[in-house]
Amino acid sequence: MCTFGLLCQHNLERFHAWDGVVDPNEPVVVPRRFVVTRAEAPGFFRGIPIPCWEEFADYVERARAEADGVIVNTFEEMEPEYVAGYAAARKMKVWTVGPVSTYHQSRTTLAPTLASRGLRTSAIDPDECRRWLDGRAPGSVVYVSFGSISQADPKQVVELGLGLEASGHPFVWVLRNADGYDEAVRGFLRELEARVAGRGLLVRGWAPQLLVLSHDAVGGFVTHCGWNSTLEAVAAGLPVVTWPHFTDQFLNEKMAVEVLGIGVSVGVTEPLTYQAVAKEIVVGRGVVEAAVRSVMGGGEEAEGRRRRARALAAKARAAAQPGGSSHANLLDLVERFQPGAAGGAAASEV
């Protein structure tokens, strides 16, 4: 989660902005006059319909009260006023140490680092993926992934696929648990693959995301706005199509679209956890097509997003290098909490 989101959450709780708010879609105002609804804000509100959430919210607040500081996967140059604002509001140290995805990516370690993430194994051979991308023009491919949790409704999968096809752009589409869909959806995906052969690559399972995002052929990212994915897009210098699903993802979308100016929203306003009636289709094929064309196309707005994304990527790399702000924070963190250091036994929020 970014410090923009943390500060929004803190202010909403501290100033009881949701008192008397019954409708989860009623707007409230957060730092710099951004407008959010209760449904869009991260799930640390009291009384929301998520099992055990009250207990978890209490646990988080106790941890914060006892902490000496907070470690955040972001970098100061991207959101300086929010880093400073959150530190002042919480009266604690904020160590910005990101983007962590940029560490250990020297030329000798780049390939194995980019081909994996955590302990997961890619569903596609990284070399095969790289060869496919090598055959595409620079900046022409859109990457589509909604992370490790979200699973689209079958009808939404069809709409997304048809929208990508209609966009006319080459794409890499990651489908988590694709085999879990019924035969109708699996058949649609097979037919889609045949129609877009040579232009679309469907990955059924885990994909080497860092490898894809860092490739010169990739020019945009359709993302669920999980913070790791959002920051990986920033580090890669890519504009994004934002499609948040729940928790902090709506605030991350505001960060990308309204604060940083590198994103185009598909217009989702209601988290999956707040839908009173389940919606089979949240975003239609026409919206998908238009959003992809907007991010990947020409024109001053699109070029402006790309310029801003590239500038942020340069700042991200500099922050993580020796002498950069994130690198310095890591050194300070280690020095402060190593055994024998003053305050070394104190608690810290991670």
- Show pLDDT as tens, one digit a residue, over the chain (350 residues): 899 999 988 887 777 666 666 666 676 666 566 777 766 765 544 445 567 777 887 888 888 889 999 999 999 999 999 999 999 999 999 999 999 999 866 444 455 555 555 546 678 999 999 999 999 999 999 999 999 888 888 999 999 999 999 999 999 999 988 989 999 999 999 999 999 999 999 999 989 999 999 999 999 999 999 999 999 999 999 999 999 998 889 999 999 999 999 999 999 988 876 555 566 678 999 999 999 999 999 999 999 999 999 999 999 999 999 999 999 999 999 999 887 765 554 444 44
Q: Which of 2, 15, 28, 38 has the alpha carbon at shortest distance from 89?
A: 15
- Whether residues 138 and 275 fall in one domain: yes
Q: What is the CATH number of the domain that holds 232?
A: 3.40.50.2000
* DSSP-derived secondary structure letter, 301: H
Q: Are 123 and 243 members of one domain?
A: yes
Residue 282 to residue 131: CA distance in whole angstroms: 34
If asked whether residues 184 and 297 sit together in one domain, one would say yes
Please check whether residues 286 and 151 belong to one and the same domain.
yes
Q: What is the pLDDT of residue 9?
A: 83
Q: 292 and 183 share a domain?
A: yes
Task: Tokens for 256, please give them.
Answer: 């990308």
What pLDDT shows up at residue 167? Answer: 98
Residues 68 and 155 placed together within one structural domain of the fold: no
Specify the pLDDT at position 13.
76
Looking at the fold, whether 61 and 193 belong to one and the same domain comes out as no
Looking at the fold, whether 211 and 237 belong to one and the same domain comes out as: yes
Same domain, yes or no: 307 and 177: yes
Consecutive H or E run containing 330 = helix 325-337
Q: Do 76 and 220 sit in the same domain of this protein?
A: no
Together in a domain, 142 and 181: yes
Domain holding 33, by residue range, is 3-99+317-337
Tokens of 165: 């096809």
* 42/141 same-domain check: no
Asked if residue 9 belongs to a domain, the reply is yes
- The number of folded domains in the chain is 2
The widest CA-to-CA distance across the chain, in whole angstroms, is 64
pLDDT at 151: 82
Q: How far is 63 from 349, CA to CA, in rounded Å?
A: 7
Question: Is the whole-model pTM more than 0.85?
Answer: yes
